[in-house]
Structure 1
């Protein structure tokens, strides 16, 4: 048991933090700095200032402000050795199957480097020739999908690839913009109270209701289904009431299922291999509830941190224009979601039929906020605190240290 705890407490290095949002009441220079670090163009930043923050600024005014703040990309590239070392470190930590666009955004947003797409592409082609070749030969065939605008149809589903090891993932994505609305790691995605909480927390944050929510027929969606239908009951449109929640086959839930494929290559496979290594060496028994609680206690926050990074990268990356004629436009999910008028769409959400206090009351009545309520989790917390106080174990500072600690514990 001690060896298992030592191994699981040695989590991967996750010093990388996303760019923090300065807040709705932030000043214009802070907002400009934030959107510039997310790699948006001047015209796109002006759109965010106008549509999201209610501040008008022309492109010429924005460029003058950038010069005054010394914000620039030209002649400000990070050294090539630094870029190569960072890419190699990301490959060792699981980002070995991503394309150059995802790598480019990760380098700029996650590590604060200034790298062009061409440099990221050339570095990947030099470092991982076979991976680039494999990705270039992939051909996707997509069926035609129709959506009028943001919040027209929300796709919700659970992801179970890490569930054998005690960690379940749940997510929601907007069908029009492909913006990730939430991506949560928790002990379970089968508990309807958990799913209901994530849904209520999102509509409280956005202060609106989606037109339709789409999910599979699992029992974990029953509270979310009842809440959506009840809140949309008195809104007189063709999809109000019972029609505001659609149920269908999981394989036909196109938007979210496609996202799970991307999540597998860039995130999940690394953790599956890591937990499988623990299992092969006898340090993890997936049939033992105590071992699963150990995994949750030690790795849940790390996995949630990486999921937040994935969502941030996904929501600010550019979706390419598809070859076949489709109704939904291409572009950046955040722009498609917050500025749909630019792309010929419109926000299809509905106002909340109640105040925020009523939503808070619903959260308190239906939702379990505390995931780790089992006594074994409290025992693990007490045990780990004692071990850390006696310096018998310590948290590693790098992925290499984690591997050494794993071998020592074994």
Structure 2
């Protein structure tokens, strides 16, 4: 009887006959596709029969969905992250024409399944104008064009979570990204991979990095609402008061909080990053997990992942920033902000009247003092692994000859280093 059970298990035999399952990668791909289409259970069972000749019951489908971590509205993201995911879709839709179904589908395509009622409630609470305008006969909402005096009038900042743990779905590892962008020129001042873009200490250091690099602050710094912007708000306000006390704060506030849906200059950048680089980056990273190179249950692998892949991702972000700042923005005669130039040129060369370079020069000593008031040092805010593992990883990297890092060789380098670290540890 014992041997019979083993034979039946190996051939997938049960009371309903022999089951010829496709390879795991094909089956996972199909199940994820069904989730993207938001198919019902019956529809998914029908598709399995058509696509793979696989006739199973709903209970077995549930087991397979769990095995391959197929997104489900029954297992949504935490509420704050789910809300942010919806608002990012709203921010990408400047015409506010996308409804609940469209947003749900777009999120499903990214591996995020949310209940329609949840999406509808988020829109009602955070973007009611979009819901209102979709009623038949509703008045159109007139959006004014983005207008800026010139370079450094307004800088916009926001975090990006499309490569976080939920997006990668690799057993808990993921990245945060934080960006800062000039509105008038569209010049990207910072695009940085960070351990956590929701910590005020971390984003505060990113902000001061940008101030030190450029030597200036803008008239107004605009960011999303949230506790992670506390030090940015305080430092920008203090620097503006010290170096430009004559600017009318009621007309030109030093710092301003906006919801993501209205912080469009930086939100639009995420769309372009994903379109040109982001999706490829995500797939490259996930490939190591899908190919079995990365094992979240191996205690060395998550630490090595966090030692190696932030470096590779930052290289990709730098390539994207270089592309973006060097690309020519199409000339538009009636556009109030810069057009017909590259962002880098417009930011570097002072514009002619009626525009004005609004940058306010600040002293390095003052920014150093402000950095010292942040309770967590920059080094610790940007730390991915502890010092002992940092040394072990550096030693392993030296042994393999310190090869140049890139997306293409990332998992090869990972494998070589993991083997060496395992040998030393054992």
Same fold (TM over 0.5): yes
**Which residue of the partner structure matches residue 297 of structure 1?**
307
Equivalent-residue separation in structure 1 for 2:158 and 2:372 (angstroms): 23
Whether 1:370 and 2:371 are equivalent positions in the alignment is no
Whether 1:194 and 2:195 are equivalent positions in the alignment is no
1:206-261 deviations in Å (ceiling 9; x for gaps): 33221001111021111000111122225122237992111111122111111111
Residues 308 and 371 of structure 1: CA distance in aligned 2, closer, same or farther (over 3 Å): farther
Equivalent-residue separation in structure 1 for 2:260 and 2:364 (angstroms): 32
Whether 1:361 and 2:338 are equivalent positions in the alignment is no
Mapping for residues 13-92 of structure 1, pairs under 5 Å: none
Residues 238 and 292 of structure 1: CA distance in aligned 2, closer, same or farther (over 3 Å): farther
Q: Structure 1 residue aligned with 2:268, among 226, 233, 258?
A: 258
Q: Structure 2 residue aligned with 1:267, among 260, 268, 277?
A: 277
Contact conserved, 2:222 with 2:256, CA < 8 A, in 1?
yes
Equivalent-residue separation in structure 1 for 2:414 and 2:204 (angstroms): 38
Contact conserved, 1:187 with 1:371, CA < 8 A, in 2?
no
Residues 349 and 401 of structure 1: CA distance in aligned 2, closer, same or farther (over 3 Å): closer
Listed as ranges, the gaps of 5+ residues in structure 2 are 1-141, 166-172, 420-426
Secondary structure at the counterpart of residue 304 of structure 2? helix
Residues 312 and 395 of structure 1: CA distance in aligned 2, closer, same or farther (over 3 Å): closer
Secondary structure at the counterpart of residue 179 of structure 2? strand
Q: Structure 1 residue aligned with 2:229, among 207, 221, 224?
A: 221
Equivalent-residue separation in structure 2 for 1:286 and 1:310 (angstroms): 29
Q: Structure 1 residue aligned with 2:220, among 212, 215, 220?
A: 212
Residues 270 and 244 of structure 1: CA distance in aligned 2, closer, same or farther (over 3 Å): same
Contact conserved, 1:186 with 1:371, CA < 8 A, in 2?
no
Q: Structure 1 residue aligned with 2:316, among 300, 303, 306?
A: 306
Mapping for residues 210-249 of structure 1, pairs under 5 Å: 210-233=218-241, 235-239=245-249, 243-249=253-259
Contact conserved, 1:316 with 1:333, CA < 8 A, in 2?
yes
**Which residue of the partner structure matches residue 55 of structure 1?**
none
Whether 1:329 and 2:335 are equivalent positions in the alignment is no
TM-score, length-normalised on structure 2?
0.54
> Which fold has the larger relative contact order, with Cα–Cα distance below 8 Å and residues 6 or more apart in sequence?
1
Secondary structure at the counterpart of residue 171 of structure 1? strand
Residues 291 and 359 of structure 1: CA distance in aligned 2, closer, same or farther (over 3 Å): same
Equivalent-residue separation in structure 2 for 1:375 and 1:267 (angstroms): 23
**Which residue of the partner structure matches residue 144 of structure 1?**
145
Equivalent-residue separation in structure 2 for 1:158 and 1:396 (angstroms): 28
Equivalent-residue separation in structure 2 for 1:263 and 1:198 (angstroms): 19
**Which residue of the partner structure matches residue 203 of structure 1?**
211
Residues 339 and 168 of structure 1: CA distance in aligned 2, closer, same or farther (over 3 Å): same
* Cα shift at 1:381: 3.0
Contact conserved, 2:159 with 2:176, CA < 8 A, in 1?
yes
1:238-297 deviations in Å (ceiling 9; x for gaps): 237992111111122111111111111222111211232233345446699964432220
Contact conserved, 1:329 with 1:343, CA < 8 A, in 2?
no
Q: Structure 2 residue aligned with 1:338, among 345, 348, 367?
A: 348
Residues 334 and 326 of structure 1: CA distance in aligned 2, closer, same or farther (over 3 Å): same
Whether 1:178 and 2:179 are equivalent positions in the alignment is no
Rg larger in structure: 2
TM-score, length-normalised on structure 1?
0.56
Equivalent-residue separation in structure 1 for 2:399 and 2:151 (angstroms): 53
**Which residue of the partner structure matches residue 162 of structure 1?**
163
Equivalent-residue separation in structure 1 for 2:296 and 2:254 (angstroms): 39
Contact conserved, 1:166 with 1:293, CA < 8 A, in 2?
no
Equivalent-residue separation in structure 2 for 1:368 and 1:281 (angstroms): 37
Contact conserved, 1:156 with 1:214, CA < 8 A, in 2?
yes
Equivalent-residue separation in structure 1 for 2:296 and 2:185 (angstroms): 38
Listed as ranges, the gaps of 5+ residues in structure 1 are 1-140
Contact conserved, 1:154 with 1:172, CA < 8 A, in 2?
yes
**Which residue of the partner structure matches residue 131 of structure 1?**
none
* Cα shift at 1:384: 3.3
1:134-192 deviations in Å (ceiling 9; x for gaps): xxxxxxx9962111101111100111111213321111000000011111112121121
Residues 255 and 286 of structure 1: CA distance in aligned 2, closer, same or farther (over 3 Å): farther
Secondary structure at the counterpart of residue 370 of structure 1? helix
Residues 361 and 278 of structure 1: CA distance in aligned 2, closer, same or farther (over 3 Å): same
* Cα shift at 1:357: 1.6
